[in-house]
Chains A and B, each alone.
Chain A
């Protein structure tokens, strides 16, 4: 079970209030008529599918109903950060290792912890219940 920090509500809520919507930061080609079949197919169907750091879009479906992004590790399931639409992640596959050592996130007793940004790090102190 994830506890997810909604960057709009500013609250950590249970996974069931949210819904995942796939890879984040996909940009629709500005002029679809001018792209090749190859580019259009890539845009429609080809996604990142890493073992490791993934940036993905979620919606706070049963809350504020706004979309936002999560940086999450697809093997440990740790949520490293959540951030509003329009912003870029501060943690990427390249930097993750460093951030990991800095202890930005915790995982406790099989529970997945929130992804608050480092500046909100108190939110990461999860007590398993």
Chain B
């Protein structure tokens, strides 16, 4: 792998940047691998990279029906934070946040991780109580969360309407300073390039159409490019996880919904941080390019069309203008949708299944981008050892029968 550095930039300038190495190969599928990852989004690619790098398993294929990162990974609004309520979730997302900090160096790829902080606004007394409870829980878990007053909020984000005139006046917020945003497609590309350089085969335009299962044990997959065998298969397919599970003969407690995002025309720097509101129901940050990156809620019905409905667009922008009245005349440039796999307790599923050797990593719903490094790392550890990593273990699919749910609706509330 050609390493990127200031020196290489200067060197390639001499040949007009025409001789950079390709990011990854485009291999023909082998008959057999040690591990197959289904889904070439951030989580699948991260899993492959950690498998190769940390666990020495390099005979790995990532099978992607479209192009790498073309699912939710490159459709999200890139918020990274770890201020979740329950211990299990806090551990998982904090593990991820720790990995984010060194990710650009680890991958030799600039993922533009920017710790500009996240505000979660409270507009009602109950909101305030929830914020206080969550901040206290966060601090017990070593997360740098604090409660801030409207005056402090005004200092952090002057453009936000913190006046009493607002329809839903801001009463306070939780503030996580180490949270922020990252460049989503760079995350996919960085992991892909790293995994490829360690020998992982990235198979694009290859769709898994079924599983090869004998005596309750998986031994490969059917694809539109022929059968590929492996005794360990990890499915990381976000909105399409339920479709894959039904191919293997079981159900998942997931529903697939469109979630939309919008970006505006580019503006001069105006926002310092990420502002989220459950109550007014929207969130916004500003990309380094200058566009406002905006999101809100899911479309309430099941859907696999990656677009989303107009009423949701309208509600989203109402919320943004309620929080930032000065944006009322900003024009939106683009809008799109991704299919999110929502789970009843708003927590992911990292789990073995009733088919031996077949693992699922899904249910990240509206908020899994922030978890990409941590999810990939603990899932790779689980696939390598055949036992779920301690951080992943509480997220077993069994919890929907034992009742040991990890209810993060309070921390999520708004899609993020």
Contact = CB atoms under 8 A, between A and B. Distances in A.
Interface stretch (B42-50, B221-229, B304-312): B304-312
A52 to B, nearest CB: 9
A94 B256 CA distance: 21
B402 to A, nearest CB: 7
A77 B303 contact: yes
Given A46-B252, A49-B252, A74 B401 contact: no
A37 interface: yes
A5 interface: no
A9 B252 CA distance: 36
Given A22-B255, A47-B253, A77 B400 contact: no
Interface string A21-51: 0100000000000000110111011111111
A30 to B, nearest CB: 20
B7 interface: no
B302 to A, nearest CB: 5
A49 to B, nearest CB: 4
B331 interface: no
A46 B400 CA distance: 8
A51 B255 CA distance: 11
Interface in A40-69: 40-42, 44-51, 54, 56
Contacts, number: 63
Interface in B214-263: 240, 242-243, 246, 251-256
Chain B contact residues: helix, strand, loop or mixed:
loop
Interface string A1-18: 110000000000001100
Given A1-B310, A46-B253, A49-B252, A75 B301 contact: no
A20 interface: yes
B253 A45 contact: yes
Contacts of B305: 74-77
Nearest to B299: A20
A40 B305 CA distance: 31
Most chain A Cβ neighbours within 10 Å, of B301, B309, B401, B403: B301
A16 B242 CA distance: 28
A20 B304 contact: no
Given A1-B311, A37-B403, A45-B400, A74 B304 contact: yes
A117 interface: no
A16 B311 contact: yes
B177 to A, nearest CB: 36
B252 A72 contact: no
A97 interface: no
Interface in B291-323: 300-305, 309-311
A1 B301 contact: no
A5 to B, nearest CB: 16
Contacts of A49: 242-243, 251-252, 254-256, 302
Contacts of A76: 305
Nearest to B302: A74
A19 interface: yes
A37 B305 CA distance: 35
Nearest to A75: B304
B220 to A, nearest CB: 23
A115 to B, nearest CB: 13
A41 B300 contact: no
A15 B253 contact: no
Contacts of A47: 251, 253-255
Most chain A Cβ neighbours within 10 Å, of B243, B253, B302: B302
A41 B301 CA distance: 22
Contacts of A46: 251-253, 400
B397 to A, nearest CB: 10
Nearest to A22: B255
Contacts of A44: 344, 400
Contacts of A20: 300-301
B302 A54 contact: yes
A41 to B, nearest CB: 4
Contacts of A75: 304-305
A15 B251 contact: no
Nearest to A72: B301
Contacts of B242: 49-50
The 5 closest A-B pairs by CB, nearest first: A49-B242, A41-B401, A20-B301, A45-B253, A20-B300
Given A19-B300, A72-B301, 20 more contacts: A1-B311, A15-B311, A20-B300, A22-B255, A37-B401, A37-B402, A40-B401, A44-B344, A46-B252, A46-B253, A46-B400, A49-B242, A49-B254, A49-B302, A50-B242, A51-B240, A51-B243, A54-B302, A74-B305, A77-B305
18 contacts: A20-B300, A22-B255, A37-B401, A38-B401, A42-B401, A44-B344, A45-B253, A47-B253, A49-B243, A49-B252, A49-B256, A49-B302, A51-B240, A51-B243, A51-B304, A56-B302, A75-B305, A77-B303
